[in-house]
């Protein structure tokens, strides 16, 4: 039995939810069935994080690269997201979950944007866990966008090379108002970041598991957190 130390919980967990397609193939099902089953894992993880007291949870739901997938699969993913928001909104309100997003939301279908806007508006006053969905998101795009916005602001405000510190730059990222992740979890046995939170993950602990996302359970999440708690986070310093 894995035991969690409440005093050493990660403040912010980020997850690359990988393996829906392989799960479907393994079970001789259509890919969309893998995404549908993956939505159940999302519910499980969100509920578990809230119950444990995790303050921030970021889920990599749709990357900028995912737009290159077949249109039928993109439509199915959009419909699943819209359905998830509709079904989970009341529980998010009741349990104090605040919904936010990062990424190029403008590329999403209008019905999805409307559902997101509604859910974010109705949970904006929540003071429990923050659920951050990365949608149409890419880490390199985010960094380039930050540079462009700094250049635009430099035309009307005093910004020079001494102004631009790491904290200053972080303030122009999509995640400006939330802390960097302490723990990154990636499922399905892949060992890469896949253009996810490239700046923010600089000092995160990385946890990789062979479990496919649709099979990722409460116990799998707790196992990852326990593994995190066994590690010594030195941020470039030494133990002493």
- pLDDT tens digits, one per residue of 41-62: 999 999 999 999 999 999 999 9
Report the pLDDT averaged over residues 117-145.
Answer: 97
163-207: pLDDT as tens digits? 999 999 999 999 999 999 999 999 999 999 999 999 999 999 999
Q: If you average pLDDT over every residue of the chain, what do you get?
A: 94
Per-residue pLDDT at 237:
53
| Residue 220 annotated as catalytic | no
Report the pLDDT averaged over residues 123-133.
Answer: 96
Confirm if 134 and 103 have CB atoms less than 8 A apart: yes
Q: How far apart are CA 25 and CA 19, in angstroms?
A: 10
Confirm if 55 and 12 have CB atoms less than 8 A apart: yes
Q: How far apart are CA 120 and CA 125, in angstroms?
A: 9
State the CB neighbour count (10 A cutoff) for residue 219.
12
Q: Structure tokens of 170? A: 């972080």
Given the residues 18, 180, 182, 220, select the one marked as catalytic.
18
Report the pLDDT averaged over residues 35-41.
Answer: 96
- Give me the residue label for tokens 């990222």: 173
pLDDT, greater one: 166 or 158:
166
pLDDT value at 10 more than 60: yes
At 157, the pLDDT band (50, 70, 90 cuts) reads: confident
Q: What residues pair up with 184 in beta bridges, in sequence order?
A: 14, 206
Question: What's the fold here for domain 6-140+180-229?
Answer: Undecaprenyl pyrophosphate synthetase (3.40.1180)
State the CB neighbour count (10 A cutoff) for residue 36.
18
212-240: pLDDT as tens digits? 999 999 999 999 999 999 997 765 555 55
Given the residues 66, 104, 215, 227, select the one marked as catalytic.
66
Please tell me the pTM assigned to this model. 0.94
Q: Structure tokens of 157? A: 């405000």
pLDDT value at 210 more than 70: yes
Per-residue pLDDT at 14:
98
Per-residue pLDDT at 234:
63
Per-residue pLDDT at 193:
97
User: Could you tell me where the DSSP H helices lie in the chain?
Assistant: 20-26, 31-52, 71-95, 110-123, 139-154, 166-170, 218-230
At 113, the pLDDT band (50, 70, 90 cuts) reads: very high
Whose CA is closest to 183, among 80, 95, 58, 64?
58
Residue 194 to residues 21, 88, 94, 146, Cα–Cα distance (Å) = 16, 28, 34, 19
Spell out the domain ranges in the chain.
6-140+180-229
pLDDT value at 1 more than 90: no
Per-residue pLDDT at 233:
75
Residue 155 to residues 14, 91, 144, 146, 168, Cα–Cα distance (Å) = 35, 45, 17, 15, 17
Residue 156 to residues 148, 166, 169, Cα–Cα distance (Å) = 14, 21, 17
Length of the chain as a residue count:
240
pLDDT value at 3 more than 90: no
Per-residue pLDDT at 236:
56
Report the pLDDT averaged over residues 57-76.
Answer: 94
| Residue 219 annotated as catalytic | no
- Give me the residue label for tokens 């690359």: 16
């Amino acid at each position: 039995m894995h035991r969690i130390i409440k005093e050493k919980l990660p403040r912010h967990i980020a997850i690359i939810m990988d393996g829906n397609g392989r799960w479907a193939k393994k079970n001789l099902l259509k890919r969309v069935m893998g995404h549908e089953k993956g939505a159940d894992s999302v519910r499980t993880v969100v509920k578990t994080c809230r119950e444990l007291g995790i303050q921030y949870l970021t889920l990599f739901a749709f990357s900028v690269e995912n737009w290159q997938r077949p249109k039928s699969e993109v439509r199915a993913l959009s419909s699943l997201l819209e359905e998830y928001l509709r079904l989970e909104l009341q529980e998010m309100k009741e349990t104090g979950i605040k919904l936010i997003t990062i990424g190029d939301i403008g590329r999403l279908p209008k019905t999805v944007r409307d559902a997101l806007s509604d859910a974010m508006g109705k949970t904006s006053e929540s003071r429990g866990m923050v659920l951050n969905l990365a949608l149409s998101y890419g880490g390199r795009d985010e960094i380039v966008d930050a540079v462009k916005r700094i250049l635009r602001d430099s035309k009307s405000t005093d910004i020079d090379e001494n102004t631009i510190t790491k904290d200053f730059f972080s303030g122009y990222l999509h995640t400006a108002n939330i802390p960097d992740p302490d723990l990154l979890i990636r499922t399905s046995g892949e060992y890469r970041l896949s253009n996810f939170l490239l700046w923010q993950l600089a000092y995160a602990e990385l946890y990789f598991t062979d479990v496919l996302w649709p099979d990722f359970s409460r116990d799998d999440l707790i196992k990852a957190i326990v593994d995190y708690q066994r590690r010594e986070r030195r941020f470039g310093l030494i133990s002493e």
